Structure 1
Amino acid sequence: MTMNSNFPSSGLGFRGLEEEEKESRRKEEIKKRLREKKEEPRERVTGREGD
C-alpha cells in the first residue's frame, strides 16, 4: 500500500490503487452483508419473542 502511494504517477501504481479500491469496496460490501445477516435474524427472533 505504501509503494502505491510513493508512485501515484506510475501506471502500475495507478492500477494498484484501483485494485485496492475494488478490494476495499468488496470488503465493505462483505461487512455490510454480514451486518445485515446478523441484524435480520435478531430482528426476526425479537419480533417472534415480542420484545
Structure 2
Amino acid sequence: MPQLNPNPWFFIMLTSWLTFSFIIQPKLLSFTPYNPLSNKTPLPTKTTPWTWPWF
C-alpha cells in the first residue's frame, strides 16, 4: 500500500514546518499591530430601551 510509505511525504512535511518555524514565523511576529492594546478600562455604554409602538 503506497499510502503507508512515509518516504516522500514526511520529508516534505518536515521541510515545510521547519521553513515556517524558522523563516516565516519570526518575520510575521516582528510586525507591530496597528491598534495596540490599551490599559484603559472600557466605559460602560448606557443603553436606552427601545419603545415599540405596537405594545
- TM-score tier, shorter chain, comes to 0.3 to 0.5
Pair member with larger Rg: 2
Normalising by structure 1, we get a TM-score of 0.43
Higher relative contact order (CA 8 A, sep 6+): 1
Relative to its length, the structure with more helix (as a share) is 1
